[in-house]
Amino acid sequence: MLLAFVLRRLGGAGVVFLLVSLLAFLLIWLVPGDAVAVLLDAAASPEETARLRAALGLDRAPLEQMLAWYGGLARGELGHSLLLNRSVAEALLERLPVTLSLAALALATAVVLGTSAGIGAALAHGSWFDQALMGAALFGLSVPDFWLGLMFIIVFALGLGWFPTGGFVPFSESPVGWARSLALPGLALGLTQMGFIARMARSAMLDVLDQDFVRTAEAKGLSRRRIILVHALPNALVPIVTVIGIVSGALLGGSVVIEQVFSIPGVGRLIVGAILARDFPVIQGGLIFLAGVYLLVNLIVDLLYAVIDPRVRLA
């Protein structure tokens, strides 16, 4: 049963990934008029124009372009950057650890703080504490992450001097420097996602506290502490696993902008640079790459969920 579920999910993700790469391929067709003319200035010689057209593969028939695109993808190639003069896949992979550590730090912040706040609010349901926490969660949802990053720079970097204003130190060079360089962007990103998780966690916990088995435990005369820790909490945490999948998309997107704010040389900064310079192979490769990461995370989350909650496999 589990195997069938795994295969079904794998197939679904595969189909979606093929569509994802098709959509990324189609991006260049959105360029109004001639893509090559947009990229080059009017003074470009016909040879230059022809060379760029060939580099983008636009000199071939659309169907041929698409086959070449999927062929490259099957070999793990995402094309060649127009500006960096190197392979897109290499450039992305090289920067992946930076973005992943930033996203992981943000995810940890959001999950730990969000879950605690949500559970705490649910346990104090209806009290001023609940209202204050939920008010804070709603406020957090309304703050632009990149702007919060700038506020952190003003207070904690420029004002107090506790953290650098930007830049990135590799872990291998100095673990402390690495943590310091990621602390502010990670926190800015995590805190803005925390509100979402807090609201989900509160709702999940309230649902569980409403269940018959909790009432049974109360009727048995178990202590409130035991009911919450042993009976309610584990069941409330199950739906929160799915939230990780949802939030990972927002975190990958958020890191694109926050990397710009903190001058962190990650995947996001690479892609934003490419977007501003119209380096299409990098934009397309970056889109596929991040969508792939997102699909992979969600696949893992789905499988994890099916293992934890067997009812899911039947759905």
Partner 1 sequence: MEPRDLGSPAPWRRLLASRSFAIGGVLLVAIALAAVFAPVLAPYDPLRGNFRLRLSPPGPLHWLGTDHFGRDILSRLLFGARLSLAIGAATTVASGLLGALIGAPAGYFRRLDEPLMRLMDALMAFPAILLAMAIAATLGASVGNVIIALAIATTPHTARVVRASVLVVRELEFVEAARSIGATETRILLRHVLLNCLGPLIVRLTYVFAIAVLAEAALSYIGVGPPPPAPSFGNIIAGGRDFLVTAPWITIAPGSAIIAIVLALNLLGDGLRDVLDPRLRI
Which positions ≥6 away from 262 have C-beta within 8 Å? 149, 153, 165, 166, 167, 168, 181, 184, 185
Provide the CA 195 distance to its chain's centre, in angstroms: 16
Minimum Å distance from CB 33 to partner 1?
Answer: 10
Minimum Å distance from CB 280 to partner 1?
Answer: 8
**Could you please report the per-residue DSSP string of 59-117?**
TS-HHHHHHHHHHHHHTT---B-SSS-SBHHHHHHHHHHHHHHHHHHHHHHHHHHHHHH
Closer to partner 1 at the Cβ: 108 or 138? Answer: 138
- How far apart CA 274 and CA 215 sit, in angstroms, is 57
Is 33 in a helix, a strand, or coil?
coil
C-alpha distances out from residue 302 to 10, 114, 219, 306, Å: 10, 21, 35, 6
Provide the CA 185 distance to its chain's centre, in angstroms: 14
Q: DSSP secondary-structure letter at 138?
A: H
Q: Give residues in contact with partner 1 (CB under 8 A).
A: 15-17, 19-20, 22-23, 27-28, 30-32, 138-139, 141-144, 146-148, 150-151, 153-154, 158, 199-200, 202-203, 206-207, 249-250, 252-254, 256-257, 260, 268, 271-272, 275-276, 278, 283, 286-287, 290-291, 294-295
Closer to partner 1 at the Cβ: 28 or 214? Answer: 28
Minimum Å distance from CB 288 to partner 1?
Answer: 9
Minimum Å distance from CB 192 to partner 1?
Answer: 9
- How far apart CA 155 and CA 92 sit, in angstroms, is 32
Closer to partner 1 at the Cβ: 90 or 207? Answer: 207
Minimum Å distance from CB 184 to partner 1?
Answer: 13
Closer to partner 1 at the Cβ: 89 or 297? Answer: 297
Closer to partner 1 at the Cβ: 52 or 256? Answer: 256
Minimum Å distance from CB 150 to partner 1?
Answer: 5
Closer to partner 1 at the Cβ: 129 or 175? Answer: 129
Per-residue tokens: 304: 């994890």
Check: CB of residue 25 under 8 Å from CB of residue 58: no
Minimum Å distance from CB 31 to partner 1?
Answer: 6
Closer to partner 1 at the Cβ: 30 or 219? Answer: 30
